[in-house]
Structure 1
Amino acid sequence: MNEKHDVIDKRHLRSIKTKQKLLEAAKEVFLEEGFQKATISQMIKKAGIGYGTAYVHFEGKEEILMILMDDVMEKFYDIAEVSFLPKTKEEARQIILSQATAFLKMAETERSMMQLFEQAIGISPSISTKWKEIREKFIQRISKDIAFAQERGLARTELNHGLVARGWFFTNEMYLWEIVRNEHLGTVEEIAGTMTAVYANGLYI
């Protein structure tokens, strides 16, 4: 019985390692070739694994890119998931400023991967759909934070927290892509400070 489990465990471990090897190779190929020119064949060759093995793990390059997107966006989610329990408007503003700054700095850090994602979003309908799902996840989290502030009497209750959340995320997203393209005017700190001031003064009482 134990021997059988050992065989399964070893296979599982080998499977995880192969998958990770392919993802690392895929990342290199994507960054070298761009989304459109990159091929599964190039990734398999770079990873040094068999064709059949690769297709056991992934259906195609879009699925591979989606996993790489999840890995990168997890870093952005960590920023969005920071505990939001302000007792005053100023405390809320400080948390929001800190999050906005960290979010835009992450765009700088992950610029090469984000450039790759932007290419893919413009070409592939499934990657575009994936980005919309990522966007909605952020919006839901922001909406929850706004609702919390409204319940505590810190934010304007006449405003629809879902719509405000969309507006705030779209502002962040617009600046994120400007930073990714290196088209931003002003420093990340200036952008985050300006955005936060306009947002917090409009929403908080």
Structure 2
Amino acid sequence: MSTKEPSTNRQQQAIQTKKKLLKAGREVFLQSGFQKTTISQIIKTANTGYGTAYVYFKNKNDLFIELMEELMIKFYEIAEKPFEPTTRENAHEMIANQVNLFLSLAVKEREMMQIVKEAIGVSEEVNQEWKNIQERFIKRIAQDIHYAQSQNLAKQNLDPTLVARGWFYSNEMFMWELVDNESHHSMDEIIRHLTIIYTSGLYFQNQF
């Protein structure tokens, strides 16, 4: 018993220290932006020592990537929602709902997403991680397309991965426009057009 308690206490302390650094990092990134933020600022805000901080993160890029991954979990939850349509109309409804949830979350997390976009543009490490994130989404979308094809709802002569890639990048483009307040169209208009274009191209002809 006595040999386990110190280890458990150290583990809990380590978890709390890491959480403090991540919380401080988010705060400083949102306040100063990605480029102007330094690891020193984060350490000072977290009120931890330099040596302690570097146990968990090798630099600010490393810390930011973990923050970005935490944020992406919310988006993954949308992508991972069960997709088992029984009709083309059902698929259309489910796809429109997913697009709505995806874009709405991006707008809700606008401030942090703006920092993500900045970081992608200036950090090769963050940019590479974003590419990994893109591929994870594309792979999940391709699975949904393959399911629709297996149910004879979607066209068999289309490559699921190619369609998924085009679909994801279309959503991503509108996502960044909404995050940057650069869209000239309402979110409802974007969702409707994206869904119609996607379902009309992928699914067998039907009146949506």
The normalised TM-score by structure 1 is 0.98
Matched, 1:77 2:65: no
Matches of 1:37 and 1:4 in 2, distance apart? Answer: 45
Which digits, 9 at most, give the CA deviation of each residue in 1:114-141, with x for residues without a partner? 1001111000111110000000000000
Matches of 2:75 and 2:112 in 1, distance apart? Answer: 13
Match runs of 1:34-183 below 5 Å: 34-183=33-182
Matches of 2:24 and 2:72 in 1, distance apart? Answer: 19
Which digits, 9 at most, give the CA deviation of each residue in 1:46-71, with x for residues without a partner? 11111111001110000000000011
Q: Give the match for residue 7 of structure 1.
A: 6
Q: Give the match for residue 197 of structure 1.
A: 196
Q: Secondary structure at the match of 2:3?
A: helix
- Which letter maps to 2:183? H
Q: CA deviation at 1:193?
A: 1.2
Q: Secondary structure at the match of 2:146?
A: helix
Matches of 1:109 and 1:53 in 2, distance apart? Answer: 33
Which digits, 9 at most, give the CA deviation of each residue in 1:140-196, with x for residues without a partner? 000000001001100000111110000100000000110111101222122111100
Matches of 2:119 and 2:176 in 1, distance apart? Answer: 14
Q: Give the match for residue 29 of structure 1.
A: 28
- Which letter maps to 1:165? A
Matches of 1:187 and 1:11 in 2, distance apart? Answer: 51
- Which letter maps to 1:131? W
- Which letter maps to 1:118? K
Of Structure 1 and Structure 2, which has the larger fraction of its residues in helix?
1
Matches of 2:104 and 2:189 in 1, distance apart? Answer: 12
Gaps of 5+ in 2: none
The normalised TM-score by structure 2 is 0.97
- Which letter maps to 2:172? E
Matches of 2:29 and 2:78 in 1, distance apart? Answer: 26
Q: Which runs of 4+ in 1 moved over 4 A?
A: none
- Which letter maps to 2:57? F
RMSD: 0.6
Q: Secondary structure at the match of 2:34?
A: helix
Q: Secondary structure at the match of 1:156?
A: coil
Matches of 1:63 and 1:184 in 2, distance apart? Answer: 32
Q: Secondary structure at the match of 2:149?
A: helix
Matches of 1:77 and 1:189 in 2, distance apart? Answer: 22
